[in-house]
Amino acid sequence: MASSTAAVGHFSIIPTYTIVSITLVLIHSYNKHRAHKHGNLLTSEMKSHAVAATISIILSCSLVLQQHDDEYTIKLIVLLLGALFTILMSVFFAAVADVWYVVGSGQFQMVSLDTAGMMLYFILPAVVLFFRFLGMYGESVGSRVSNLMAYVVKSVGISAVDGDDGISSSFVLSLAMLVSVSVPILNALCPMGGYLFSRAYTHGQPNTKKVALCVNFSDLESGENDLWEYLSQRKEEGEYTAVLNVYVTLNDLQSFPEAVKELAKKGHHVALAPSDPSGELSLFQGSEAANYVESIVNEYRKVIGTEPSWIAAYGRHPAMLGKATEFGIKVAYWSTLVQVGGDMLSVEQQDAISSDVADKNGGSIVHVTLGKDGSNEFLSASLLAIVNDLSSKGFTFESLLDVARDDATMIL
C-alpha cells in the first residue's frame, strides 16, 4: 500500500513537518493551560460521532491511496495541508482568546481582529523569512532531513518519503489522522461555531462572585424537596439571587406548562433547550433546526409571557444558532460540566466545581446533568451540596442574564 508521488521531493516535506509540529505543540499548550480545566464542550454523543468521523476520514484517504494515482495523491495532500493550516489558525485564534478570557462572541471577534493584526505585523514576516531560507538552503537541509527520515522509518515505521523520492501513504495517513483528531479537540476547547454563528458564552465576567447554576427541567425532581426549600429560605433571608437556570424543551413547555410557570414565579430563570439531549442534527436538517427554534420561542411566549433570552448549547447546528440570533437569544455553553451518576457527586466532581469557580472568582456557568446511573432525587441532593459548598465561600447564584452581561463596546 505504498503509493509513491515522485513529483514531491524531500525539500517540500520540511514546511509540512513545521506546520504539523507547531499545530501539535499549540494544541498541547492550549489544552494544558486553558481557562476552564473541566469545561469540555463535547457531550458523550458528540465524542462518539467524532470517533466515527475520524474512522471515516482515514478509510476515505486509504481508498484514495489505493488508486496508486499520483494526481489523486497530490490533491489529497493539498487538501489535508489546507485543512491542517486552517486548524492551526483556528487553534491560534482560540488560544489567544482563551488567554484574554473573552466574554461572549463580541469580545472573541474583537480579540481575533487584534490577533490577525498581530499576525500581519509579526508572524507573517517570520513565515516569509522561513520560506526564503528554504529557497536558499532547502536542498542541503533536505539531504540532512532524509537521514532523519530513514531513522524514523527504522524506529517508528512511519515513512515520510518512499524510495522513489515521493511521499509515502503512511505519511499521508498520519496527516489525515492528525486532521481528523484535531477538529474534535478544538471543538472541545473552544465553541468556534458558536462564536461565528451566534452570541455564545462559556462564562460571564470574572471577579463578580456570581455563579450560574444550570440544570435540565427533565432532570429535576418533581414536587417540593430540600433544594427548593433551601433556595426559598435564602430568599426570605434577603438574598434575592438564589436562583437556578432551568433548561426546558418544547415538549416540557407543552406537557408541563404549569410546572414551568411555577418555576418562573419562584424567581428561577427558565431558558430554552433543544429537543434532542445530544443536540446532534445532520447538516441536511437545517430547516428542522430553525423551525424548532421558532416553535419553542412561540410556546415560551404562551407559557411564560415574556421573550426567551437564552438557549442551551446542546444543539450546535449553524441553522439553529443563526435562528436563535435572529430572535436575540444568546447561546449558553458552560465553564464546568458535571454528570451526576450513582448516589451523589464524587469528591473529584466537587473539587472540580470548587476549583473552577474559585479560579476566576465568579462568572462561571456550571451545568449539572444526570448520568446514566443517576436519578432525579440524587440530582437534587447534588445541587443542594453544590449550593451549600459555594455559598459558604461567598458565591451567589444568579440567572444567566446577570452572570454573563454584554459589554456594549465589545459587540460587533
Cα separation, 318 vs 194, in Å, equals: 8
pLDDT for the residue 93: 93
Percent of the chain residues past pLDDT 90, beyond the cut:
26
Q: If you average pLDDT over each of 179-188, 295-304, 337-346, which comes out highest?
A: 295-304
Residues 57, 58, 59, 65, CA torsion sign: positive
Which cell numbers hold the place of 338? Answer: 458535571
Q: Model's pTM, two decimal places? A: 0.81
pLDDT for the residue 201: 94
Could you report the per-residue pLDDT of 2-55, keeping only the tens digit for each?
444 443 444 456 667 777 888 889 999 999 999 888 888 887 777 777 888 888
Mean of per-residue pLDDT scores for the chain: 80
| H helix runs in 212-360, sequence order | 226-236, 250-255, 257-265, 286-304, 318-326, 347-359
Cα separation, 172 vs 1, in Å, equals: 12
pLDDT for the residue 54: 84
Mean pLDDT value of segment 209-226: 81
Cα separation, 99 vs 29, in Å, equals: 11
Q: If you average pLDDT over each of 81-85, 128-132, 338-342, which comes out highest?
A: 81-85
Mean pLDDT value of segment 376-398: 84
Could you report the per-residue pLDDT of 230-282, keeping only the tens digit for each?
777 766 665 556 788 999 999 999 999 998 998 888 888 999 998 754 444 45
Q: Cβ contacts of residue 255 below 8 Å, gap of 6+?
A: none
Which cell numbers hold the place of 144? Answer: 540532512
Tell me if 208 sits within 8 A of 361, measured CB to CB: yes
Cα separation, 189 vs 205, in Å, equals: 19
Higher pLDDT, 208 or 9: 208
- How far from each other are the two terminal CA atoms of the chain, in whole angstroms? 51
Q: What is the DSSP letter of 367?
A: E
Higher pLDDT, 151 or 300: 300
Our CA dihedral for 359, 356, 412, 289, rounded to 10 degrees, sits at: 180
For the ranges 8-22, 149-163, 202-216, 314-328, the lowest mean pLDDT is seen at 149-163
Percent of the chain residues past pLDDT 70, beyond the cut:
80
- Judge whether residue 213 has pLDDT over 90: yes
3-state secondary structure of 46: helix
- Judge whether residue 333 has pLDDT over 60: yes
The two beta strands, 364-370 and 310-312, are unpaired
- Judge whether residue 287 has pLDDT over 90: no
Tell me if 358 sits within 8 A of 392, measured CB to CB: no
- CB burial string 230-264: b at 16+ within 10 A, e below: ebeebeeeeeeebbbbbbbbbebbeebeeebeebe
Q: Under the phi-then-psi rule, with left for phi > 0, alpha for psi from -120 to 50, and beta for the rest, what region is 394? A: left
Mean pLDDT value of segment 292-317: 90
Could you report the per-residue pLDDT of 94-110, keeping only the tens digit for each?
999 999 999 999 899 89
pLDDT for the residue 153: 55
In this prediction, residue 123 has a pLDDT band, given cuts at 50, 70 and 90, of: confident
Higher pLDDT, 387 or 376: 387
pLDDT for the residue 258: 92
**Helix (H), strand (E) at residue 163:** none
